[in-house]
């Protein structure tokens, strides 16, 4: 291997990248833009669910119950309807996601039989909001029920009861339950996948498509020199992007950073090696930019987006899909990033993830180096 030829190759690549300043700008703007969108736009804390109420009882008690819903930030009463048809129409239109119906003679039942029930109708076409909304609604109803019980006990002269069990919950690692802190590791992985795999896979596929690969093959440069020369510039772009992303997250978006920067950058280098070699491998096999971009989308972007545990928790996926995530580098990388950002976990507890990532990096770089043949056709 000749260092001069590697440098010449890298220089050619750098010139080519610099000729397209817009792409370069997009690449560096992307992490900040994504952080902004994901951090502020994605809000997994579901609040202000539009609620529709239908009070068929129309008494002080029923109004009292409905007031409990209004008092929380979880629900916003947007509609008060007078008929069942209006209620259905509102749910169909999506103007409200939950409807609470107090049946006729609710108060009467409560006073005579001691038992009364209201209904919560949930638009479960959005199952997550319905699930969380159901939890909120049940919580509100149970709190109301407890109050009614206590009132009754006092009237009956029984010993007044105090709340039986209180949970003192401490949420760890993300005390304010902010989605932002949770999203950053995923955004870093996503941006790296895009930069690493998409850019590199297209750069070689382009040489094939335009025929400049033949020219390259006719020069004395060896295949290893081509690989290193091609990848090094993108490696630096990727590392700069990661640093930019982490810096913006900590400085602008106030995401905590509790672990070690060495671990974070060490693992980022490993992940970058994986995506770069994957991109290289793809471009060698695909030979057309369209095919290369689709392959990069399927092998790096989708896993980083969907199968890394970034938005969708891995332990809720079907078992087979969980196995598949084990061979995907994004999963380990996101887990490590989450640890260093939020938990500050000592390295000894992450050896499994780091080893897996290193192993995948070694395998993919070997595959990439072997795949390229300095040959036409």
Partner 1 sequence: MKFLAALTRIRHMLRKEFIQTLRDPRTRFLLIGPPLIQMLVFGYAATLDVKNVTLAVLDLDNTQESRELVGHFSGSRYFHLQKYVERREDLREGIDRGGFLVALEIDSGFARRLRNGQGATVQVLVDCANSNTGLVALGYLNQIGAQFARDYQLDLAQRVAPQIAFSMPRVDLETRPWFNEGLESRWYFVPAVIGNVTMIMVMMLTAFAVVREREIGTLEQIMVTPIRRWEFIVGKTVPFFLIGCFDAGIIALVGTLWFEVPFRGELGVLALGLVVFIFAALGIGLLLSTISSTQQQAMITSMFFIMPMITLSGFATPIPSMPPFFQKLTFINPMRYIMVVLRSVYLKGVGLDILWPQIAALAAFAVVLLGFSVLRFHKSLE
- Cβ 294 to partner 1, closest distance in Å? 5
Cβ neighbourhood burial of 220 (10 Å; 0-12, 13-18, 19+) = exposed
What lies within 8 Å, CB to CB, of 223 at 6+ separation is 369, 372, 373, 374
Query: Which is closer to partner 1, CB of 86 or CB of 209?
Result: 209
Contact status, residue 52 vs residue 96, Cβ threshold 8 Å: yes
Query: Which is closer to partner 1, CB of 71 or CB of 224?
Result: 71
- Cβ 376 to partner 1, closest distance in Å? 18
Query: Which is closer to partner 1, CB of 80 or CB of 290?
Result: 290
Query: Which is closer to partner 1, CB of 150 or CB of 362?
Result: 150
The residue among 68, 64, 86, 88 whose CA lies nearest residue 77 is 68
10's tokens: 């890298």
What lies within 8 Å, CB to CB, of 234 at 6+ separation is 13, 195, 196, 199, 200, 203, 276, 279
| Secondary structure (H, E, C), 231-293 | HHHHHHHHHHHHHHHHHHHHHCCCCCCCCCHHHHHHHHHHHHHHHHHHHHHHHHHHCCHHHHH
| CA 329 distance to own-chain centroid | 16
Query: Which is closer to partner 1, CB of 77 or CB of 362?
Result: 77
- Cβ 361 to partner 1, closest distance in Å? 22
| 76 three-state secondary structure | strand
- Cβ 341 to partner 1, closest distance in Å? 9
| Other CB atoms within 10 A of residue 51 CB | 25
| 318 three-state secondary structure | coil
Query: Which is closer to partner 1, CB of 256 or CB of 266?
Result: 256
- Going 25 to 342 to 364 to 295, the CA torsion angle's sign is negative
- Cβ 12 to partner 1, closest distance in Å? 15
Query: Which is closer to partner 1, CB of 198 or CB of 235?
Result: 198
- Cβ 238 to partner 1, closest distance in Å? 14
- Cβ 310 to partner 1, closest distance in Å? 9
């Amino acid at each position: 291997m000749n260092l001069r030829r590697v440098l010449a190759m890298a220089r050619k690549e750098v010139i080519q990248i610099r000729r397209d300043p817009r792409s370069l700008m997009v690449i560096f703007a992307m992490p900040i833009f994504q952080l902004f969108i994901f951090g502020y736009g994605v809000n997994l804390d579901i609040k202000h669910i539009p609620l529709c109420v239908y009070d068929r009882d129309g008494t002080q008690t029923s109004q009292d119950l409905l007031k409990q819903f209004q008092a929380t930030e979880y629900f916003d009463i947007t509609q008060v309807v007078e008929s069942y048809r209006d209620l259905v129409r509102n749910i169909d239109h999506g103007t409200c996601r939950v409807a609470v119906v107090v049946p006729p003679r609710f108060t009467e039942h409560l006073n005579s039989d001691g038992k009364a029930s209201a209904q919560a109708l949930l638009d479960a076409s959005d199952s997550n909001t319905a699930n969380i909304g159901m939890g909120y609604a049940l919580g509100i109803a149970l709190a109301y029920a407890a109050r009614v019980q206590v009132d009754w006990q006092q009237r009956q002269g029984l010993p007044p009861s105090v709340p039986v069990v209180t949970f003192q919950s401490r949420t760890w690692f993300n005390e304010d339950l902010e989605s932002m802190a949770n999203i950053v590791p995923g955004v870093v992985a996503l941006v790296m996948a895009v930069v690493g795999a998409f850019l590199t896979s297209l750069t070689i596929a382009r040489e094939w498509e335009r025929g400049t690969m033949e020219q390259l093959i006719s020069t004395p440069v060896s295949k290893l020199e081509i690989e290193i020369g091609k990848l090094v510039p993108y490696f630096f772009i990727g590392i700069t992007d990661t640093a930019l992303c982490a810096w913006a997250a900590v400085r602008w978006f106030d995401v905590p950073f509790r672990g070690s920067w060495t671990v974070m950058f060490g693992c980022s280098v490993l992940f970058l090696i994986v995506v770069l070699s994957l991109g290289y491998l793809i471009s060698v096999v695909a030979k057309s930019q369209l095919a290369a971009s689709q392959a990069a989308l399927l092998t790096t972007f989708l896993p980083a987006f969907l199968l890394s545990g970034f938005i969708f928790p891995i332990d809720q996926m079907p078992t087979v899909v969980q196995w598949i995530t084990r061979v995907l580098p994004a999963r380990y990388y996101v887990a490590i990033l989450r640890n260093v950002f939020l938990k500050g976990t000592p390295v000894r507890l992450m050896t499994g993830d780091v080893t897996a990532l290193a192993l995948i990096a070694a395998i993919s770089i070997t595959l990439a180096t072997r795949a390229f043949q300095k040959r036409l056709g």
